[in-house]
Amino acid sequence: MEKTSVNHFFSDRVITFDQTFSDRNTALKAVADQLLKAGAVVPTFEKAIIAREQTYPTGLQLNDGIGVAIPHTDADQVIHDQIGFVSLKTPVEFRQMASATDVVSVNYLFVLALKTAHQQLDMLQKLMELFADDAEMTAFRKIKTADDFIHFMTEQGVL
């Protein structure tokens, strides 16, 4: 039987490493499909998250040159809380948060599927605190397995 590691928000069913996608939308579709297969989202989640990312970009350039994106959409697209994670072998471009034109080469993708706006805000704050900590991000970049990822995120209080 396949072992499944979980904390409240993370499951090894939707955590992948060293993935390659041609562009942002292909990456989002892949994570949306994993979330759908995990029973976390409704079938329209994929379309909703791509549309929201187009209007409200979520790319962030970190101090160490690493790019992250935190796409999310409305709670009515979510069945149960889950965060999909992808580390990208080759970065894909996302638009910079709060910018109409600037782009970020994204290495890490955190796709939020959360039931309430309050949870989204709380999770965004927790992730931003993690991203701002250069020492923790150095440790984060060494993670190569779902179990290590879940353990790290749980230690950081992202649960």
Within a domain: 86: yes
Within a domain: 1: no
- Predicted pLDDT at 7: 65
Contact 6, 140 (CB under 8 A): no
- Predicted pLDDT at 100: 79
Within a domain: 4: no
Pick the closest to residue 15 from 129, 138, 143, 122 (CA basis): 143
Within a domain: 7: no
* Tokens 């995990």 sit on residue: 38
Contact 96, 131 (CB under 8 A): no
Number of separate domains in the chain: 1
Could you read off the pLDDT of 104-113 as tens digits, one per residue?
999 999 999 9
* pLDDT-based confidence at residue 158 (cuts at 50, 70, 90): confident
For range 14-39, the mean pLDDT: 97
Could you read off the pLDDT of 102-143 as tens digits, one per residue?
999 999 999 999 998 888 889 999 999 999 999 999 999 999
Within a domain: 113: yes
Could you read off the pLDDT of 55-110 as tens digits, one per residue?
999 999 998 889 999 999 999 999 999 999 999 999 999 999 988 789 999 999 99
CATH number at residue 45: 3.40.930.10
Entry pTM: 0.92
* pLDDT-based confidence at residue 157 (cuts at 50, 70, 90): confident
Q: Which domain holds residue 92?
A: 12-155
Within a domain: 144: yes
Ramachandran assignment for 29, one of left (phi > 0), alpha (psi -120 to 50 degrees), beta (any other): alpha
Within a domain: 31: yes
Could you read off the pLDDT of 42-54 as tens digits, one per residue?
999 999 999 999 9
For range 20-25, the mean pLDDT: 97
